Structure 1
C-alpha cells in the first residue's frame, strides 16, 4: 500500500498520460492510414478513369488510344501498373507489367481496402478494380480495369509516419510529465509549508497557524488552531487544579505538624515522617501530572544550565568546589524550561552534595538527541548499585535528601522521550548522563541560523 501522496499523484499522472497518448497514437495512426489509402485509391481511380475514356474498338479489337502518361508505366517492374481485360479474355497492359498478366483468380482481399496479388517481380502489389460497359455499334461490351501499385510504397509511408509520430508522442509525454511533476510540486507546496508551520508551533516558535494558504487548507488550519486553543485551555485547567491541590494539602499538613508538636517524641517523629512522605508523594504526583502538558517549547541548554549553576554557586564556593562548564551556546533542547530545570537541577544538586573539589558539565549532540554529562570527584557509587540509583526513596548519602530527586528527574526525561543513566566518572565520582530531545530542521539543529 502506497503511503506517499506524491508517489500516488506521480503514478496517476503517468498512467493518465500513457493512456491518453496511446489513444492519440492509435487515432492518429488510423487517420493517417485511412488518408494514405484514400490518396492512393484516388490516384488509382484517376488512372482507371483515363483508361475507361481511352478504350475504343477498332476492327473489332479493343485498344487503348491514350495510355496514362506517368513514365513509370513504361518501366518494367516500376511499381505502378494498369491492365484492361476484355470479355473475350484479351488483355491490354502497361509495359511496367512486362509479360505478366494479372488474372482475376489471383486476386484476394488485401489491406487498406485493396485487393492483393503478386507483381511482376514477385513482390506484393495492391490492386484497385473496376468493371465498365462500353457501348459500341455492335452492342455493349464489358471490360475489367486494373490499376495497381507496390504495397511496399504505402507500407513504407505509414511506417515512416509511425516513426515520426512515436518521437513526437515521446517528446509530448516528456513535456506532459514534466508539467505534471511541476503541478504536483506546486500543489503539494502548501502542505510542506503547513508541515514547517507545525514544526514551529511544536517547538514553541509560533502559538498558532497562519491563516494564509489555499482555500482547501483553510478549514484544516482553522481546526488545528481550534485544537491548539482547546489544548491550551486544558493545560491551564490542569495547572490550576494541580496548584489548587498543592495549596489544599499544604494547610492540613501544616496543622498536623502543629498537632504533632504536642505529642510525645515517638508519636511526633512518626507523624512528621508520614507528613513528609505525603508531601513527597504529592509533589511527585503533581510533577507527573504536569509532565508532557507543555512539550512544544525550546530551551537553550547553556543559558539554563548557567542560571542553575549561579544559584548553586554560593554553596559550592563556600566548600571550595570549582565548576567546569563545556556547553555549546547553540544547543537547544525540546523541553519546557521548568521541566528541564527540574530534571537538571536535581542532578546538579546531587553533584554539589557529594563533590570534593570539581563538578564538570558537558554536552554533545548525537543525532536528534543531546547527551548532557554531569560529573563530580566525590566518593561515587559502587558498580552494583548504579542501576538502583533512580529508584524511589534511594539515598546516595546516609540520611541526606528525600531520595526522590533523581527519580523525579528520570520521570521528567522519560515523559519527553529522554532518559537518565549512571556510570563511574573519570574524575572518580559519579557520572550522570541526561539524554535530552533536540530535533533538527533543514539539516541544522533547532536554534541555529
Structure 2
C-alpha cells in the first residue's frame, strides 16, 4: 500500500484525468463519426431523390431523362457512383462505374446503416439502397435505386479527426497533470511548514506551534500544542524528582566518606571509588533532568558501538576473541547516547567475559523498533535461567559481578519504551536482543 500522501493524491489525479479524458475521447469520437455518417446518408438520399425524379416510363419501357449533375459521376473510378435497376434487369448507371454493375445480391451489411460492396477499382464502397414502385397508366413499375461512395473517404476523414483529437487530449492531459502537481504541492505545503515548526520545538528553539495556517490543520495544531504542554509538565515534574534525588544523595554520601576515613587503606579506597561512581551517576541524571533531553536525543548505532568496542577490544584481543559487526551507518536510535552506552556497554561487557572466539553484533528493523543483537560463542545460559538473568541482583557465576549490569540495561531500555530479551545464540552462547526506538 502506498504510504506517501503526495503519491496517493497524484495517483488519484492521474487516474481521474485518464478516466475522464477516455470518456471524452470516446464520446467525441462517437459524435463525430455519427455526424459524418449522417451527412453521407443525407447526400446519398439526395442523389437517390434526383435519380427517382429523372426516371420516366414510355409504356413499359423506362428511360433516364435527367441524371445527377455532380461531375464526379462522369469520371471513372472517381469514388461517387449511382445505379438504377428497372424491370427485367434493365440497368442505368453512372459513367464513374465504367462497366461494373453493383449486384444487389452481393451487397453485405456495412457500418452506420449502409450496405457494403466492391467498387470498380476494388476499393470498398458504402451503398444506400432504396426500392420504390412507380405508378403509370400502363401499370406499376418497380425500381431499385443505389447511390454509393468510397468508404476510404469517410474513414480517412474520421481518422484525421481522431489524430487531431488525440493531440488535443494529450495537451489537455499535460495541462491537467501540471495543474494537479501544482495543486498537490500547494495543498501539502502547510504540512511541510508544520514539520519544520515541529523540528523547531524538538530542537528547543520554541515550545509551542504557531496557531496559524489552514483551517483544517488548526485542530491538529491545537492537539499537538496540548500534547507539548502535557509533556512539558511531565518533564518539569521529572526534573524536580531527579533534582530531589540527586541532592538527597549528597548527605548520605558525605557521611559514608567520613566513615571511610576510619577504615583500612584498601577498604577506604574501594568505598571512595564506589561513592565517586554514585556521585557521577547522580550528577549526570541531574544534568539530564535539567536539560530535558532524554526523549529528544538521537544516537548513531554504528558510531556508538564502534566506540564501545574500541574500549573492550584490548581485553578480547588478549584472549583471541574476534568482533563481527554488521550495522548500517544510517541507523539512529531515539535514545540519549549516555543511556544507550550504559545499556549496551553492560551487554557487551557480559559478552566479553564469556566469549571464547567470537562476538557478533548486528542490527535490523523490526516493526517500530531497531533490534540490536549481541551474540557470543561462550557456554551460554540454560533455558530456565534466560528470564532470570535480567533481574536485579541475579548472576549465574558464583564469583563474578554484582548481578546489576543486565538489570540496569533492562531498566534503561524500558524507560525509553524498549526492552531486552535473551535467547540461545546460533553460534553457541547467549544472544541478547535490544529493542530500541528509532529509525533505519
Q: What TM-score does the superposition give when structure 1 sets the normalisation length?
A: 0.63
Q: Deviating runs (4+, > 6 A) in structure 1?
A: none
Partner of 2:136: 136
User: Counterparts of 1:289 and 1:131 in 2: how far apart (Å)?
Assistant: 109
Partner of 1:265: 262
| Alpha carbons of structure 1 residues 285 and 112: separation in structure 2 relative to 1, 3 Å | farther
SS in 2 for 1:131: strand
| Alpha carbons of structure 1 residues 175 and 83: separation in structure 2 relative to 1, 3 Å | same
Alpha-carbon contact 2:246-2:286 (below 8 Å) kept: no
Partner of 2:216: 216
Partner of 2:404: none
Partner of 2:392: none
Once the two structures are TM-superposed, the CA of residue 159 in structure 1 deviates from its matched residue by: 0.6
SS in 1 for 2:141: strand
| Alpha carbons of structure 1 residues 386 and 150: separation in structure 2 relative to 1, 3 Å | closer
**1:48-77 Cα shifts (integer Å, max 9, x gaps):** 112222221024211232211111111111
The aligned runs of 1:4-153 (5 Å cut-off) are 4-153=4-153
Alpha-carbon contact 2:257-2:271 (below 8 Å) kept: no
| Alpha carbons of structure 1 residues 107 and 417: separation in structure 2 relative to 1, 3 Å | farther
User: Counterparts of 1:9 and 1:386 in 2: how far apart (Å)?
Assistant: 49
User: Counterparts of 2:139 and 2:149 in 1: how far apart (Å)?
Assistant: 33
Partner of 1:205: 205
Partner of 1:280: 277
Alpha-carbon contact 1:202-1:296 (below 8 Å) kept: no
Once the two structures are TM-superposed, the CA of residue 91 in structure 1 deviates from its matched residue by: 0.8
Once the two structures are TM-superposed, the CA of residue 7 in structure 1 deviates from its matched residue by: 2.4
Once the two structures are TM-superposed, the CA of residue 291 in structure 1 deviates from its matched residue by: 3.6
Once the two structures are TM-superposed, the CA of residue 250 in structure 1 deviates from its matched residue by: 3.3
The aligned runs of 1:259-338 (5 Å cut-off) are 260=259, 265-266=262-263, 274=271, 277-278=274-275, 280-281=277-278, 283-285=280-282, 287-288=284-285, 291=288, 294-295=292-293
SS in 2 for 1:88: helix
Once the two structures are TM-superposed, the CA of residue 287 in structure 1 deviates from its matched residue by: 2.5
Q: Which runs of 5+ in 2 are unaligned?
A: 304-308, 316-334, 343-440
Q: What TM-score does the superposition give when structure 2 sets the normalisation length?
A: 0.64
**1:97-151 Cα shifts (integer Å, max 9, x gaps):** 1221111111001122210111111111100011111111122221111010000
User: Counterparts of 2:224 and 2:263 in 1: how far apart (Å)?
Assistant: 59
SS in 1 for 2:120: coil
SS in 2 for 1:56: strand
Q: Which 10-residue stretch deviates more, 59-68 or 141-150?
A: 59-68
Partner of 1:438: none
User: Counterparts of 1:75 and 1:247 in 2: how far apart (Å)?
Assistant: 116
How many residue pairs get aligned? The number is: 319
The one of 286, 307, 311 equivalent to 1:387 is 311
Once the two structures are TM-superposed, the CA of residue 256 in structure 1 deviates from its matched residue by: 5.8
SS in 1 for 2:101: coil
User: Counterparts of 1:11 and 1:108 in 2: how far apart (Å)?
Assistant: 47
Alpha-carbon contact 2:294-2:336 (below 8 Å) kept: no
Alpha-carbon contact 1:335-1:416 (below 8 Å) kept: no
SS in 1 for 2:89: coil
SS in 2 for 1:211: coil
User: Counterparts of 2:128 and 2:270 in 1: how far apart (Å)?
Assistant: 118
| Alpha carbons of structure 1 residues 289 and 3: separation in structure 2 relative to 1, 3 Å | farther
Partner of 1:189: 189
SS in 2 for 1:129: strand
| Alpha carbons of structure 1 residues 51 and 275: separation in structure 2 relative to 1, 3 Å | same
Once the two structures are TM-superposed, the CA of residue 280 in structure 1 deviates from its matched residue by: 3.5
